[in-house]
Amino acid sequence: MTKEELVQELLINTDLDTKLNILLESGVEILTLKKFDRFIKIYLVNNFYVELIYKYEINRITHINLIDTQDLIEKYQDYIKIVL
């Protein structure tokens, strides 16, 4: 198993604390959005994207999701600039 496969497996099958540690150690933050009730951060980890969602109301991270490039473009097209 390659390092990329191991990181991807950990991001899919582990608890939020472990996922957060992986993001902070090996991810590069590429986008931060502040909304009324939450903020969203997008990280590039190896060759895939990770979406982190923090809810202000409960003061905690509620989701850490792997997203592919197409999903990233569809969900955040108003906030990102695609360079070809």
Does the pLDDT value for residue 40 go beyond 60? yes
| Residue percentage of the chain with pLDDT more than 70 | 94
How confident is residue 41, by pLDDT bands cut at 50, 70 and 90? very high
Predicted local distance difference test score (pLDDT) of residue 83: 54
> In the chain, how many H helices and how many E strands?
3, 4
pLDDT tens digits, one per residue of 46-56: 888 999 999 99
Does the pLDDT value for residue 21 go beyond 70? yes
- pTM greater than the 0.85 cutoff: no
Contacts of 14 (CB under 8 A, 6+ apart): none
